[in-house]
């Protein structure tokens, strides 16, 4: 019942405001992209993002309401998964490409998108920057849902932007002083 309520809550979230970082949208799909500077080394930003996702992911965007149940197995065919009670779980995305400290690509329908006739590629990229590490999240989604996909582009964009901000806050708070020049 809790899982069902969480999914309904996530679907209700799609009624939220749009963000300016939707690169394109149409009935058949959309692309959203966010970039941020994290004041730490690329290796530390990667570790925070990938190996510690359960420490910064928003618990409101999980089935169990507990972000510490989230993990990413960063290898081809690995899982961005959420473990539930009793050995149950959810595959949120499947890892399709890894270049450690450089890029992680995952495929699937994140959150409520997994309940629709859509698929997407989410790419996390890590670049050296004078200020630390520039991290870019891009999510390209295509497929079918009644009424088209452009109506959910803004809310999905919001979630991606929020996630990147939470990552920045976590990484800078926990790995302060690790910037490699």
Give the right CATH number for 2-174 from 3.30.530.20, 3.40.50.720, 3.40.50.2020, 3.30.70.1560.
3.30.530.20
Say if pTM beats, i.e. exceeds, 0.75: yes
Cross-strand pairs, 36: 135
Estimate to the nearest angstrom the gap between the alpha carbon of 115 and the chain centroid: 17
pLDDT of the residue at 176: 57
Tokens at residue 46, please?
Answer: 């990667």
**What number of residues does the chain have?**
181
**pLDDT for 11:** 40
pLDDT value, residue 5: 39
Q: Which two tokens stand for residue 145?
A: 């849902």
pLDDT block averages, 10 residues each, the chain of length 181: 40 39 94 96 97 96 95 98 96 97 96 90 97 96 93 93 96 67 35
Whole-number Å distance between alpha carbons of 28 and 146: 10
3-state secondary structure 76-114: CCCEEEEECHHHCEEEEEEEEEEECCCEEEEECCCHHHH
**Of 72, 45, 75, the residue nearest 164 (C-alpha):** 45
pLDDT of residue 85: 95
């Amino acid at each position: 019942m809790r899982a069902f309520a969480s999914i309904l809550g996530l679907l209700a979230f799609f009624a939220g405001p749009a963000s300016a970082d939707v690169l394109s949208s149409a009935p058949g799909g959309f692309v959203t992209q966010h970039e941020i500077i994290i004041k730490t080394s690329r290796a530390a930003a990667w570790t925070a993002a990938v190996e510690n996702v359960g420490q910064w992911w928003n618990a409101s965007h999980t089935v169990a309401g507990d972000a510490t149940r989230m993990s990413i197995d960063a290898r081809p065919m690995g899982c961005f998964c959420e473990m539930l009670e009793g050995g149950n779980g959810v595959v949120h995305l499947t890892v399709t490409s890894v270049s450690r400290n450089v890029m992680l690509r995952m495929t699937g329908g994140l959150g409520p998108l997994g309940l629709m006739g859509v698929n997407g590629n989410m790419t996390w990229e890590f670049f050296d920057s004078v200020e630390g590490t520039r991290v870019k999240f891009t999510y390209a989604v295509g497929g079918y849902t009644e009424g088209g996909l452009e109506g959910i582009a803004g809310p999905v964009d919001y979630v991606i932007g929020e996630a990147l901000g939470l990552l920045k806050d976590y990484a800078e708070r926990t790995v302060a002083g690790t910037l490699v020049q």
